[in-house]
Amino acid sequence: MDSCDYKSYAQALDLVNDKELIEEYKKYHKNVWKEVNEALCSIGIKKMKIFLLGTHLFMYYEARADFDPKIDFQKYTELTPKANEWDNLMRKFQQKISDIPENQLGEWWSPMDLVYDLDWFKQQQ
């Protein structure tokens, strides 16, 4: 697959507003379990990055063109007990974003709309 076979995604979620829990969350992500990374790759994720600002998480990832977050993230938790354990463990640190309309909420992570892409400009050149 070349770069044309992948799509970009962005999602947001909040962490519980507790400094100790946030530090613990960050420590877990410095040492993500091998089975979790393997499961993410096996569902078609090529790149994934999570950024933190205060209690706000922003996740950027690239996945194969036919990736469906609603279906494939469910598959991820079913691939290995460790991926499911990780997902459940992370939920103690996380909470849905509270200040967005209900119709924009995702199952857990909320999808974000793309409003700017430098490639749009490059394609006009």
Q: Amino acid letter at 122?
A: K
CATH superfamily label, 3-124? Dimeric alpha+beta barrel. (3.30.70.1090)
The model's pLDDT over 53-92, given as tens digits with 9 standing for 90+, comes to: 999 999 999 999 999 998 999 999 999 999 999 999 999 9
What pTM, to 2 d.p., does this model score? 0.87
CA 15 to chain centre: 13
> Which secondary-structure segment (H or E) carries 47?
strand 45-53
The full set of domain ranges for the chain reads: 3-124
What backbone phi and psi angles, to 5 degrees, belong to 38?
-65, -40
CA atoms 108, 40, 34, 46: torsion sign? negative
Q: Is the pLDDT of residue 20 over 60?
A: yes
